[in-house]
Each structure stands twice: as structure tokens, then as C-alpha cells.
Amino acid sequence: MAVSTDFLRSLPYLANLAADDVERVRRDILELSFDKDEFVLLEGEPCRGLYVVKSGRIRIFKSSPEGREHVLLVAGAGESFNDVPVFDDGPNPASGTALEPSVVYLIPKKTALALVADCPAALGIIRVFAARLRRLATVVSDLSFRSVVSRIAKLLLEMAVAEQAGTPIPRLTQDEMAARVGSVRDVVGRALRTLEKAGAIEIRGQRLVVTQPQKLLMLVEDYDKSRMP
């Protein structure tokens, strides 16, 4: 069944559009039905577009490699999801499944982008916001799924690699490292000692040398195994 113009106009994204633009969206939009627990989209897959719930509820969540989940949003009728990759050109930042039999509209990425194509400034601003949202979603999943050791390993690896590439990297105190990974100094100190004992880093005075980056990478990729007892 074709989507109604009134429904489209009720969406914040489309409320202020000219009639022609709404009609273009109405022509391009796809209606998709999902059974309970069926996947609507997968984290890491290429973005098909912006989704709007017509009926039912869609659970949007991030997953750890071990299958643990963190729900970011439960989208009900009239709510959108998967906004970020439409505008920052990245993959889907999270997965979505239907909590009950649901119908969603898919506004193809190309159609959604066309709505702001004549305003490059707006598109630029949206891209910045989208990138920041994606970054925040990553921070949320890091805090949910990673141990402090894994978060510190990720921070050290990113900074050491950037330093090697010639990017100016600030020197950090242990308090500043703790602030960056959402922890406290004592715990960071223990994490650094754990990494040193594992042979991944050497602390030489004011220099922290990443001697085995592949060991840090293993901790970054293997979240739960780095959990401290």
C-alpha cells in the first residue's frame, strides 16, 4: 500500500519540505514487513537508507563479538533509525530486529541525500553531526563491552600508531588516560601494569613504548577475554 503524504509530512525530517519533494520521497519509498525477531538491518553492512517505523517496534542495538547486546533505541511508529550512515557514508552503526510484527518504510539513501543536495552547508553540518553521533555510539559500546584493559589497549594503540605517522600526540597523565576511557587513575595504573606484564608495552620513565602492537590489537579485538577478574 502506498505511503500517505500526511504520514510523510508528520515526520520531522519531511515536515517542512515542498510538495514536490514529498512526492519524490513518496515515489521512492519502500514498504517492508518483518516478523517478530527478524533482522531489519545488520551492524557493519552497507547502508541502504533511512528507516521509518509505520507500525510495530524495532530494537536497535550494538553487539560485542561474543554476542552480548546493548540496546540504543526502541523505535516505535513514526520514529526513524539508521540516520547516521545516510549522511556520514559509513556502514550501519548498529543492528535492528523487530520486537513484534512490524512494517517499516525505507527511504533510499540517494533519495534522503537529495533532500539536502541543494544546500551544501547543511549537508556539511549534518555530516559532522553524524560522524560525532557514530563516534558516541562507539564510545557507548566500548564502555558496555570492553574492560578497562581493552579500552586502554585501544587508546595506546591508536595514539602510538598516530605518533608513528607523524601526528602530534599529546602526552597524557594517568588521570588523563582514565578520563579518556571512562575510568579512574588506580584502575588505569593496574591496567598498564597488566599490559606491561603481558609484554605488550614497556614503561621507561616518561615514555610508554608499545613494543608488541599485535598483543594490544588482540585485546582490542577480543573484548571479553581482556576482562579483569
Partner 1 sequence: MVMKASGGEHRARCCVAIPEIDTSKCISCGNCVEECPVGIVTLVDGKAVITNPEACSYCTECESFCPSAAIRCPIEIVLGAPES
Near partner 1 by CB under 8 A: residue from 2, 206, 214, 229: 206
Which residue from 177, 175, 191 is spatially nearest to 227, judged by alpha carbons? Answer: 191
Near partner 1 by CB under 8 A: residue from 98, 149, 178, 210: 210
Question: Restricting to residues 151-190, which ones interact with partner 1 according to CB under 8 A?
Answer: 156, 159-161, 163-164, 169-177, 185, 189
Nearer Cβ to partner 1 (16/214): 214
Detail the DSSP E strand segments found in 25-162.
Answer: 30-34, 39-41, 49-55, 58-63, 69-75, 80-81, 95-98, 102-108
Window of 4-12, 20-28, 40-48, 202-210 that interacts with partner 1 by CB under 8 A: 202-210
Contact 84, 137 (CB under 8 A): yes
β-sheet bridge partners, residue 97? 39, 59
Nearer Cβ to partner 1 (123/161): 161
Minimum distance of partner 1 from residue 62's CB (angstroms)? 27
Nearer Cβ to partner 1 (75/160): 160
Q: Would you count residue 47 as binding partner 1 (CB under 8 A)?
A: no
Nearer Cβ to partner 1 (12/205): 205
Buried b (16+ CB within 10 A) or exposed e, 148-168: bbbbbbbbbbebbeeeeeeee
Contact 135, 77 (CB under 8 A): no
Q: Would you count residue 197 as binding partner 1 (CB under 8 A)?
A: no
Window of 33-41, 58-66, 86-94, 211-219 that interacts with partner 1 by CB under 8 A: 211-219
The residues, ordered by sequence, that sit 6+ positions from 148 with a Cβ below 8 Å of its Cβ are 181, 183, 187, 188, 191, 228
The dihedral over CA atoms of 195, 196, 202, 206, expressed in degrees to the nearest 10, equals: 80
DSSP letter at 77 equals: T
Minimum distance of partner 1 from residue 112's CB (angstroms)? 40
Number of residues that bind partner 1 (CB under 8 A): 30
CA dist 3 and 22 (Å) reads 11
Q: Would you count residue 191 as binding partner 1 (CB under 8 A)?
A: no
Q: Would you count residue 149 as binding partner 1 (CB under 8 A)?
A: no
| Residues contributing to the site for partner 1 (CB under 8 A) | 156, 159-161, 163-164, 169-177, 185, 189, 199, 202-213
